[in-house]
Amino acid sequence: MARITAGVATSHVPAIGAALDNGKAGDDYWRPVFAGYEASKAWIAAEKPDVIILVYNDHASAFSLELIPTFAIGCAESFAPADEGWGPRPVPTVEGHPALAWHLAEQLIFDEFDMTIVNRMDVDHGLTVPLSLMFGQPDAWPCKVIPLAVNVVQYPPPSGKRCYNLGKAIRRAVDSFPEDLKVVVFGTGGMSHQLQGPRAGLINRDFDNAFLDRLIEDPEAQAAVPHLDYVREAGSEGIELVMWLIMRGALDPKVKVAHRFYHVPASNTAVGHLILENPGCA
């Protein structure tokens, strides 16, 4: 049977991808960011997941304003890195897992989460930067990836509670998949940041660290936090953090913290990162 062994949360700042792609990872500015992921690279090399369900948001790359799905699941064989205006990132094509993705789509819809099914989609930095942070610069990504895109661009995004419950439904769906697969769920985006208007550059360390604490210890309480609190305290783009609750919902109520990292700044953004293990499921 398929099983979810762990969850990974990380920011997906585009400048991190650009730093890596342009050979600047060793610069004084970027070294502390990448240092925070050294243990993570060793962890995932040992963990060897077969499939990653990668929760992220598209940034007006695959989805414009013509079509704005709240929850979209990528069921294709593969997904190409998107051209975000500077040409595509020089990273491998992302290989999907259509059998598990379609199973998830079916089971989630039966479970009353009405997913949008996507058979053709380019994937932007929201998906590829987390892979780069965890795997470095390989010739091919070492496992299959199922993209799960969440709308956080058009207000309102789904509520924290809805995201948390989607995570629980993902857990049930993975548990019912007959093939023996090791699955890790990624929740990405955040942490505090605001990219627009006179309040651009907002960072809130206290909010971010309280979020990390509660995501680990009391995710039910964090799931009840309304959108307005995220926007006010963590910036207009800090609302991306609701996506971390999908990852958390897919894990056991009690988890083991394998790694925790926080750093300010990466360009305009606070970088946060967690690795959470399901006890007894490794």
Partner 1 sequence: MTEKPYHDIPGTTLFDAEQSRKGYHLNMFCMSLMKADNRAAFKADERGYLDSYPMTEAQKQSVLDRDWNGMIALGGNIYFTSKIAATDGLSFQQIAAKMSGVSQAEYAQMMLDGGRSVEGNRSKKEQARG
Binding site for partner 1 (CB under 8 A): 14-15, 59-61, 64-66, 83-86, 153-156, 192, 194-205, 207, 228, 231-233, 235-237, 264-265, 267-268, 270
193 is catalytic: yes
Of the residues 193, 227, 263, 273, only one is catalytic, namely: 193
Nearer to partner 1, 184 or 191 (CB): 191
Closer to partner 1 by CB, 68 or 257: give it: 68
CA distance 271 to 265: 7
Taking the complex as a whole, the smallest distance from the CB of residue 184 to partner 1 amounts, in Å, to 27
Q: Print burial letters for 78-98: b (CB count within 10 Å at least 16), e (below 16).
A: ebebbebeeeebebbebbbbb
Residue 257: which H helix or E strand, with range?
Answer: strand 256-266
Active-site residue among 12, 97, 103, 125? Answer: 125
Tell me the closest approach of the beta carbon of residue 18 to partner 1, in angstroms: 9
> Cβ closer to partner 1: 59 or 259?
59
Kindly compute the dihedral angle of the four CA atoms of residues 27, 47, 258, 272, in this order, to the nearest 10 degrees: 40
The residue among 137 and 154 lying less far from partner 1, judged by its C-beta, is: 154
Check: CB of residue 164 under 8 Å from CB of residue 138: no
Packed helices 160-175 and 242-249: angle between N→C axes, nearest 10 degrees = 30
103 is catalytic: no
Q: Measure the CA–CA gap between 48 and 108, rounded to whole angstroms.
A: 26
CB of 276 to partner 1, least distance (A): 26
State in angstroms the smallest separation of the CB of 259 from partner 1.
23
Residue with tokens 């199973």: 103
DSSP for residue 124: -
Please give the positions annotated as active site: 125, 193
